[in-house]
A and B are shown apart, each in its own frame.
Chain A
Amino acid sequence: MRGVWLSRLRLEENWPVLTFVALLLLDVALKGRFSRFDLQTLCANALPLALISFGQFFVVLTGGIDLSLGPISSVAGSCAALLLARDMTTGFAVALLAGAAAGLGNGLLVVRFALPPIVVTLGSMSVWQGVALLILPNPGGEVPPELSDFLSSDYGVPTSLAALALAWLAASWVTSTRFGLHLRAIGDDETAARMSGVAVPRVKTAAYVLAGATAAAGGVTLAIATSSGSPTVGDDYILLSVATVVLGGVSLGGGVGNALGVVMGALIVTIIGSLLYFAHLSSFYQSIINGVILLAVVASPSVRNWIGLQFRRLRHAG
């Protein structure tokens, strides 16, 4: 019985989910409770990271990488903090359009001039860091309290959980469309994709635009969650978004990964922070543990095979 159950878990595909569940159980064991409030906090903290990482996910699927998504989210958050209080529609529209425009810039440079994504987005990272500082030189601005209240509210289901689920559904929908298939095809083998009729330049550019807009949504969420904007808030997400998608089982080589994994990656990073807090460990350990888990995950086609082998042995023995 036990063996059958273990093999149903399909370790190979589901380990981001399983890692998260294991960490969640540890979290519950440490706290001795898991209330509605805990769930709400976890999701609210994971939401901006998940959104920015979805942006990274779209680009990484094509085999690229985007180092400018963090600063793009700073720009969007700064716009939101300046405009939302005056007029909500304008605030959201300007923030998201700014993100999409920033992504378009990256996309054009990468596609039109065949420049390496890491170099292009290294440059645009600096540009958008600068733009954020020009828009909002110091942390501040204002977000209507009803938006912040809405994000931390609970209508039967915590809003933040609903938002996270919605983001996941949207991202899985995008990756299940023809466009999503083309993203994967390009990441898998660009030449083959072109030969089989994929409009590589258009799809690739669209991936960067979508990434910019999604990261901008993450930046707006950050502004709402903290009730203010900050021009440097996104800098932490530059490399963290890359780490998150990798934790979620997305291959930096392109073509591999799914939206659920990305959500799990974001939840894993977030719950580690909460675990350390409740285990009374200094937050100094957070970066060590992030690094070790990241390594464990990527070193693990071989490590996972080994675990799978142990489980199979166990099954035969039991």
Chain B
Amino acid sequence: MPAEAKTVRLRRALLPAPLSRFALPRGMSILIAFAAFSVVLIGVGEALSPGYASAANMLQLLKLSSFLGIVSIGQTLVILAGGIDLSVAWVLTGAAFAFTTVTRGQNSGILTGLLAALAVGAGVGAVNGVGVAKLRISPIVMTLATNSIMQGGTLVVTSGSPLGVPDLVRATATGSVGPLPTMTLIWAALTAVVVIAVAMTSGGRKLLAVGENPRASFLSGIDNDAVTIFAYTLSGVAAALAGVLFAGFSNTSFLGMGDQFVLPSIAAVVLGGASIRGGRGGYGGTALGVILITLLSTDLLMGNISPGLRNIIFGLALIGAVLSHKLLLRGESE
């Protein structure tokens, strides 16, 4: 590919010769890039508001990151399998409303409410998966359509007035265990599970195989459709769980609460070094991407930067990140 050759040439021109020949392993270079960027972002934050770099504040930032982090679990799995999930916005909102409608603010209803919310997530996710795998609908269109249906459905069923959340869930989403925010712990545990599942289990390898080359994976005996449906179902469940917890954090379920998660969740996956075309990457990178996004957005907020400029910087950072991936990593990155 000429474009490919061009980026190789550019890379050679940009990097000192020894560095360009000495290509680091992929995971290592992502870690180094993450460390460099987070030091810069934390430094900027500290300069803007002293105390930003304190351990306590870092834990708070991890708590803030955890909601996007949980949504991004699903997004990562779907993208690794070669798809994309645009329905997380209203699956999250719909599940949060299902939860608050069932519980009516009572602790006693939490289990039923949680089951209802997760059922909504799993149901929509499974529909997405069946549409993509069996009906061969493009993932963008399929999840766009279910998002639209969930949006209307949530409005029609609940008429959209915000509802309260049981105390226990609010306490979980906002409280801490000792010095550690509960949400940070939940997210850390989920991260460990997902990272291990993707990297070390046969299910994870199947997921990557389907994303890398569906034909090859099919020929080696993998049930592509089942893997795809499973990935979308998990994405729905993750979005639903994030919805319940985010409702707890906000102390209410409200319309449009999920919209702010869709594009950042995709951005986090891309920042984490996964290929948007599937087959390469893992959740570890995404989790780091989520943290970078939170650091960047809190920096921009504290710097009193106008919303317009904030959007521009965010967009340029995303483009810059994929561009530098392309230029600095070896040609295998895309």
* Chain A interface residues (CB < 8 Å from chain B): 65, 109, 111-116, 118-120, 122-134, 137, 201, 231, 239, 242-243, 246, 252-253, 282, 284-292, 294-295, 298-299, 302
Count of A-B residue pairs with CB < 8 Å:
155
| Interface SS of B by simple majority | helix
Q: Collect the chain B residues with CB atoms within 8 Å of residue A119's CB.
A: 266, 270, 276, 318, 322
Within 8 A of A (CB), among B268-320: 270, 276-277, 306-316, 318-319
| A65 in contact with B140 (CB, 8 Å) | yes
Q: How far is the CA of A57 from the CA of B64 in the complex (A)?
A: 39
| A201 in contact with B2 (CB, 8 Å) | yes
Q: How far is the CA of A231 from the CA of B146 in the complex (A)?
A: 28
Q: Collect the chain B residues with CB atoms within 8 Å of residue A286's CB.
A: 152
| A130 in contact with B138 (CB, 8 Å) | no
Knowing A111-B3, A294-B141, the reply to whether A123 touches B312 (Cβ < 8 A) is no
B330 CB, nearest partner CB in chain A, Å: 14
Q: How far is the CA of A118 from the CA of B275 in the complex (A)?
A: 12
| A239-B144, A298-B142 known, 9 other contacts, Cβ within 8 Å | A123-B315, A129-B315, A242-B144, A284-B152, A284-B156, A288-B148, A291-B151, A298-B135, A298-B141
Q: Collect the chain A residues with CB atoms within 8 Å of residue B141's CB.
A: 242-243, 246, 252, 294, 298
Q: Can you list 16 pairs linking A and B with CB atoms under 8 Å apart?
A: A114-B4, A118-B276, A119-B270, A122-B263, A126-B263, A126-B312, A127-B311, A133-B311, A201-B2, A201-B3, A231-B308, A288-B153, A291-B152, A294-B148, A298-B138, A302-B135
| A132 in contact with B308 (CB, 8 Å) | yes
Q: Collect the chain B residues with CB atoms within 8 Å of residue A299's CB.
A: 131, 135, 137
B63 CB, nearest partner CB in chain A, Å: 24
| B137 in contact with A291 (CB, 8 Å) | no
Knowing A114-B334, A243-B141, A288-B156, the reply to whether A133 touches B149 (Cβ < 8 A) is no
Q: Collect the chain B residues with CB atoms within 8 Å of residue A201's CB.
A: 2-3
Binary CB contact string for chain B from 137 to 171 against chain A (1 if under 8 A, 0 otherwise): 11011101111110111011000000000000000
Q: Collect the chain A residues with CB atoms within 8 Å of residue B177's CB.
A: none
| B145 in contact with A126 (CB, 8 Å) | no
Question: Is B23's CB within 8 Å of the partner chain A?
Answer: no
A195 CB, nearest partner CB in chain B, Å: 13
Question: Is B92's CB within 8 Å of the partner chain A?
Answer: no
Q: How far is the CA of A285 from the CA of B306 in the complex (A)?
A: 35
Q: How far is the CA of A221 from the CA of B309 in the complex (A)?
A: 26
| A130 in contact with B309 (CB, 8 Å) | yes
B316 CB, nearest partner CB in chain A, Å: 6
Knowing A122-B266, A242-B144, A299-B131, the reply to whether A116 touches B276 (Cβ < 8 A) is yes
| B263 in contact with A295 (CB, 8 Å) | no
* Chain B interface residues (CB < 8 Å from chain A): 1-4, 6-7, 84, 86, 131, 135, 137-138, 140-142, 144-149, 151-153, 155-156, 263, 266-267, 270, 276-277, 306-316, 318-319, 322-323, 326-327, 334
Q: Collect the chain B residues with CB atoms within 8 Å of residue A291's CB.
A: 144-149, 151-152
Q: How far is the CA of A17 from the CA of B314 in the complex (A)?
A: 41
Q: Collect the chain A residues with CB atoms within 8 Å of residue B267's CB.
A: 122
**B7 to A, closest residue via Cβ:** A113
| B156 in contact with A282 (CB, 8 Å) | yes
Q: How far is the CA of A266 from the CA of B314 in the complex (A)?
A: 31
| A295 in contact with B318 (CB, 8 Å) | no
| A294 in contact with B308 (CB, 8 Å) | no
Q: Collect the chain A residues with CB atoms within 8 Å of residue B1's CB.
A: 114
Q: Collect the chain A residues with CB atoms within 8 Å of residue B4's CB.
A: 114
| A127 in contact with B145 (CB, 8 Å) | no
| A137 in contact with B308 (CB, 8 Å) | yes
A293 CB, nearest partner CB in chain B, Å: 9
| A287 in contact with B308 (CB, 8 Å) | no
Q: How far is the CA of A97 from the CA of B228 in the complex (A)?
A: 43
B145's contact among A113, A125, A133, A295, by CB below 8 Å, is which?
A: A295
B217 CB, nearest partner CB in chain A, Å: 20
Q: How far is the CA of A113 from the CA of B314 in the complex (A)?
A: 20
A96 CB, nearest partner CB in chain B, Å: 21
Q: Collect the chain A residues with CB atoms within 8 Å of residue B306's CB.
A: 133-134, 137
Knowing A116-B334, A119-B270, the reply to whether A131 touches B308 (Cβ < 8 A) is yes
Q: Collect the chain A residues with CB atoms within 8 Å of residue B146's CB.
A: 291, 295
| B149 in contact with A113 (CB, 8 Å) | no
A211 CB, nearest partner CB in chain B, Å: 17
Knowing A112-B6, A123-B318, A123-B319, the reply to whether A131 touches B156 (Cβ < 8 A) is no
